[in-house]
Structure formats: structure tokens, C-alpha cells
Amino acid sequence: MKIEYTLSDLSAAARQFLQAIGDARIVAFYGAMGAGKTTFISALCRELGVQDDVNSPTFAIVNEYRDAADAPVYHFDFYRLQRPEEALDLGLYDYLDSGALCLLEWPEIIEPLLPADTLRVSIEETTDGTRTLSF
């Protein structure tokens, strides 16, 4: 499936995406630096009712938020990892097996660790600033 959006209709795109993914709990976002992964994840969190500021967990590796139902939402950024084993040291499977929504940026380094049912999402930016989500 594909969803095209601009920053002005980001909220609508996030709502459409959440409806489309159904029960998917592990969502891996792929895209170039500046493609809008964190921006889109922030919009998803707002749509879920997260009240906290959502920003990239580049240094913390994982941020935990609470949605409107007080359920956890985990936001990962694996950009700084050098080896997949570093994610295991963080307790990756505890998060992935929790049943909570796990949103992963820069999952390439941990690709061998991702479960088969991981929803893989590509974000691409076009020259006019439009983004395309493919999943």
C-alpha cells in the first residue's frame, strides 16, 4: 500500500496509516536521513493520544510514551548501533514481545533480529517535498 502526503496533511496521513496497519505491533521505518521518519512517528503518536513531546531517541536508543489508553508506545532509533548484539543488550526482545506498539527508526542494523511479522515501511521524499509511505 502507498500513502502520499505533505507536511500540511500529516495528521490525516497518520490516521490513514494507523487504520491500514490493523494489529501490526512492530513497525520498522526505512528512509534516507531527512526523509521524515521522526516527523511521521511524531504524528502517529499524536494520533494515538501521546501527550509527551516525541523526538528521536538517537542517544537514548528507545523512548517510552503512553497513548490515550495509557498503553506503552516504544520509539527506537538504531542509528548509533554498530552491531545487532547491542540491541539485544538493551533488551530488544522484551520490547518486541510486549505486545506494545514498537516504532523503529534505522532498523537496518537489527534486520536479522526482526520478527517475520514486522511491518516494513519505506518513506521517500520527492523533489516537491511530498512524502510517500510504502508498506
Q: Which domain holds residue 6?
A: 2-134
pLDDT of residue 33: 95
What's the whole-number mean pLDDT along residues 12-28?
97
pLDDT in tens, 64-97: 999 999 999 999 999 999 999 999 999 999 999 9
Q: Specify the number of domains making up the chain.
A: 1
State the Cα–Cα distance between residues 65 and 127, nearest whole angstrom: 33
Quote the mean pLDDT of the chain: 97
Domain CATH number, residue 130: 3.40.50.300
